[in-house]
């Protein structure tokens, strides 16, 4: 059987017709982990935060270095991925049938204690990210990684039985007849079959808007502003949540170029929360440690697993 190469994985990422199901993400991640196990790119441990690692490719790919990978979340082998994927899909099926009640059995709570939802989503997305960094056009590769993360989150939400699609809306500007603001919304989701069309000027009261980004860097202000404007223009509260993959980047620390730097802007986040409005939920697949211990942050920021297992159902109950 012909072995899958890094070039093959590049072509998969470029293919705009690919990644239409969770099975596609699984097969891609499986192929990526198989390549890592077979080709052994250089594995570099961050000297500042040892749970983050990097892979450096060989000369054929310009010795490119991946972004930081959280080894506590990244599933490390094909075998482990296959086992975890089967359990993950079973869990999503149970969520579809029983919603948040699916998490109540003791056996299920033990399963969730290992953060399996975060680990699966993280592995799927970072397998793609590790291939995207090998492209010469860094802007396009970042854009593609972002598109595929948005699609991944949409597919997961749909898998548990919730309506979820991107949408473009046109908002009339009050007191300016004939003038409208166009908004492209990453995701709009609802449990009540209220989604009308891909393009509509209406947001149903039972719908929730989700902004999905790989990082909050240079994006967090727009999400707060979106909620503020949507609420003001529509004359009612519009629920808006944000879902992020992570907020880390490689940075020089001392003599090493493999330090870890947080890209989360705590003061900006808190300032927007006060000056504009709080978001209705902020979720990270790989949250920064300070988000979990800072009392001003941990009352607003949670792990993605909590969104899927609990908050998704309360947000869409109305």
Res. 218 pLDDT band, cuts 50 70 90: confident
- Beta-carbon contacts of 255 under 8 Å, excluding residues fewer than 6 positions away, are none
pLDDT in tens, 80-108: 999 999 999 999 999 999 999 999 999 99
Q: Is 20 helix (H, G, I), strand (E, B) or coil?
A: coil
Q: Please, what's the largest Cα pairwise distance for the chain?
A: 66
Mean pLDDT of 22-31: 98
Give backbone dihedrals phi and psi of 17, rounded to 5 degrees, phi first.
-95, 0
Contact status, residue 183 vs residue 156, Cβ threshold 8 Å: no
What percent of the chain is predicted at pLDDT more than 70?
Answer: 97
Residue range 144-192, pLDDT digits in tens:
999 999 999 999 999 999 999 999 998 888 888 888 888 899 999 998 7
């Amino acid at each position: 059987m012909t072995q899958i190469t890094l070039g093959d994985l590049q072509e998969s990422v470029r293919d705009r017709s690919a990644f239409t199901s969770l099975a596609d993400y699984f097969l891609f991640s499986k192929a990526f982990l198989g390549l890592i196990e077979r080709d052994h790119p250089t594995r570099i441990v961050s000297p500042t935060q040892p749970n983050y690692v990097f892979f450096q490719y060989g000369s054929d790919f310009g010795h490119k270095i991946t972004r930081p990978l959280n080894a506590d979340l990244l599933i490390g082998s094909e075998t482990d991925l296959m086992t975890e994927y089967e359990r993950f899909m079973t869990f999503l099926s149970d969520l579809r049938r029983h919603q948040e009640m699916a998490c109540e059995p003791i056996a299920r709570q033990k399963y969730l204690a290992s953060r399996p939802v975060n680990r699966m989503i993280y592995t799927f997305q970072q397998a793609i990210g590790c291939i995207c960094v090998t492209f010469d056009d860094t802007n396009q590769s970042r854009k593609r990684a972002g598109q595929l993360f948005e699609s991944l989150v949409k597919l997961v939400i749909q898998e548990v039985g919730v309506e979820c699609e991107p949408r473009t809306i046109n908002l009339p500007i009050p007191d300016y007849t004939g003038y409208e603001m166009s908004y492209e919304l990453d995701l709009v989701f609802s449990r009540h079959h209220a989604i009308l069309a891909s393009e509509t000027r209406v947001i149903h009261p039972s719908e929730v808007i989700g902004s999905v980004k790989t990082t909050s860097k240079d994006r967090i202000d727009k999400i707060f502003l979106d909620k503020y404007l949507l609420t003001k223009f529509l004359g009612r509260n519009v629920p808006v949540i944000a879902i992020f993959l992570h907020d880390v980047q490689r940075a020089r620390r001392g003599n090493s170029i493999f330090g870890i730097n947080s890209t989360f802007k705590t003061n900006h986040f808190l300032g927007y929360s006060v000056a504009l409005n709080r978001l209705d939920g902020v979720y990270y697949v790989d949250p920064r440690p300070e988000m979990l211990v800072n009392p001003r942050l941990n009352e607003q920021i949670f792990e993605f697993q909590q969104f899927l297992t609990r908050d998704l159902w309360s947000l869409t109950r109305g």
